Structure 1
Amino acid sequence: MQKELNIPIVLEAVKKAGHLFLKDYKQKAIPQTMDELVAELENIDTLCLTSLKEDLSAEFPNIPWHIGDEFDTEAQRNPAQQADYWLCDAMDGAIQYLQHIPGWTINLVLVRKGKPCFSVIFDPLSDELFWAKENEGAFMNDVPLQLSSKTDAAVMLSVFEYGHQDKSDTAFYQKIGSTITSLIQNFGIVRNYGPHGLQLAYVGAGRIDLFVQEDLDTYNWMAGILIAKEAGAVILTTDGTPWKWGSESLLVAKKETAQKFIHLNAKQS
């Protein structure tokens, strides 16, 4: 990177993109066919990327752009070759947006040497802007994030997610089912919400106690991983090993909560 990151410019660009979608929220008919759905998803990608490039390319002309296609499993196994690049998940939770329900955000990550060094998640409906810079903390509207202090699993909120990885292997379904069963049996509140990155940011904010996913979903995770990590959460796979780009599961929580899940899940298996 040729110059220091101008954080306010990036944050404002992401907020601007979010507000573009906010004014059209619930104004279009819900897609009823696959062709309609695909066309609307493409429109979302185009509108978001056009807005972000318009505001950021002049400030950061040498940083290329990479669209995070969560349907492309193989592309998610490794970072792109560029030393620095923007990874844009145009709208995390786009299905919710098109279905006229809450739970959609604009996510942007600056990847440096194969790992996120700055990320932003903007929830226009709540006007909440989550962001983090590597080794400098995580924030929501400039207020530092703080993990949950709960110790009793009976009052913890755990969430599970799944992505678009090929699940034709029936053993993979069984693994997902076993993990969900473990959550239901051992944690008081279990939910599936939708926007992966926002849920990870909520872990950092203490709103969610545990995030679990058993398949590969790197692009949907990346912005939230940095935010949760900078807030103090551990970033692991579901078997307790350190998460790295290309890992095929994700476990994010306070250290003690993550250890509790790993122990209980091992017993379940």
Structure 2
Amino acid sequence: MTDAPAALLPAALKAAEIASELVRTRVPGLLTAKGDRDMASEVDYAVERAVRDYLKERTPDIAVLGEEEGISGDATGELLWAVDPVDGTANFVRNIPLCGISIGLIARGRPIVGVIDLPFLGARYHAAQHIGAHLGDRRIRASMTTDLKDAIVAIGDYAVGEGAEAENRRRIALTEHLAANVQRVRMLGTVAIDLAWVAEGKLDASITLSNKPWDMAAGIVIAREAGANVIDQDGTDHTFNSSATIAAAPALTRDLAALLHDANQRFTAD
């Protein structure tokens, strides 16, 4: 494993540039069903293949895991690229500009490099372990909010597919608890934006009741390098075995974990 994660950041930045151009200049095209109310567009596949090809050329010894087409390369290595070609496809196909490209590099289960590009908002976030988080050339820092009643908190999308009804009862319980305790609740439809905006301090926290590497890897390292805490729902440090992803201003972390615990208790009781 490289001793300098930042050495691989330029490859991720260039890959994001290639991806962003494709997203901005192509129409979504035909949609492929991935299950109940879930789909991928032609652009999702085109972006993933372009990013995969570029990363294979630049870093041939590192495997690539993409949301749409799985893993390629030697999966036994210490490093793994994790790519979400269009995070927020439902927004993208409806011409809602809240979508993002997420490219993360994982070392032994921990994200060490991340780039999130928001093609329709003209913003590109990046971070590498130990060098901080940036929006373009500007260093960014997470919120310093200390009280939940002053916090704006994003939550992940409601579930679709098998088991969605039960999963959404838990999400509704969480939404109810948040609505009673925080300043505002937001659902933006893309965890890439949720985590990038936590890093930038636009959001005070985000809670996603899922944990997939292509969704989370880039945003987690960007949020952490910006000073946010990233934890599982039980308050322990977030790993890729975690069942949920909470990124928050440090002073809010404990209260949000307790609130999520209460919501889970309510869901179980119901």
Fold similarity call, TM over 0.5 = yes
Runs of 4+ in 1 over 6 A off after TM superposition: 37-40
* Alignment-derived partner of residue 57 in structure 1: 56
Q: Secondary structure at the match of 2:219?
A: helix
Is the CA contact (8 Å cut-off) linking 1:30 and 1:99 kept in structure 2? no
Q: CA shift at 1:177, angstroms?
A: 2.2
For structure 1, the 5+ residue unaligned runs are: none
Q: Give the distance between the partners of 1:125 and 1:169, measured in 2 at CA.
A: 32
Q: Give the distance between the partners of 2:3 and 2:59, measured in 1 at CA.
A: 9
Q: Secondary structure at the match of 1:57?
A: helix
Q: CA shift at 1:161, angstroms?
A: 0.8
For structure 2, the 5+ residue unaligned runs are: 266-270
* Alignment-derived partner of residue 163 in structure 2: 167
Q: CA shift at 1:91, angstroms?
A: 1.0
Kindly report the root-mean-square deviation, in angstroms, between the aligned alpha carbons of the 2 structures. 3.1
Q: Secondary structure at the match of 2:58?
A: coil
Q: Give the distance between the partners of 2:29 and 2:43, measured in 1 at CA.
A: 15
Is the CA contact (8 Å cut-off) linking 1:30 and 1:98 kept in structure 2? no
Q: Secondary structure at the match of 1:109?
A: strand
Give the one of 144, 147, 168 matched to 2:142.
147
* Alignment-derived partner of residue 47 in structure 2: 48
Give the one of 96, 100, 120 matched to 2:95.
100
Residues 172-220 of structure 1, C-alpha deviation per residue, up to 9 Å, x if partnerless? 4433222111100001111111111221111010011111123344431
Q: CA 1:92–1:156 in structure 2 vs 1: closer, same or farther (change >3 Å)?
A: same
Q: Give the distance between the partners of 1:89 and 1:139, measured in 2 at CA.
A: 20
Q: Give the distance between the partners of 2:46 and 2:100, measured in 1 at CA.
A: 14
For these two proteins, the number of residue pairs brought into alignment is 257
Residues 139-178 of structure 1, C-alpha deviation per residue, up to 9 Å, x if partnerless? 11021111112234333211111455743673x4433222
Is the CA contact (8 Å cut-off) linking 2:191 and 2:216 kept in structure 1? yes
1:205 is aligned to 2:171: no
1:157 is aligned to 2:145: no
Aligned amino acid, residue 102 of structure 2: N
* Alignment-derived partner of residue 13 in structure 2: 11
Q: CA 1:244–1:102 in structure 2 vs 1: closer, same or farther (change >3 Å)?
A: same
Is the CA contact (8 Å cut-off) linking 1:218 and 1:246 kept in structure 2? no
Aligned amino acid, residue 24 of structure 2: L
Q: Give the distance between the partners of 2:117 and 2:38, measured in 1 at CA.
A: 23
Is the CA contact (8 Å cut-off) linking 1:175 and 1:214 kept in structure 2? no
Task: Report percent identity of matched pairs.
Answer: 23
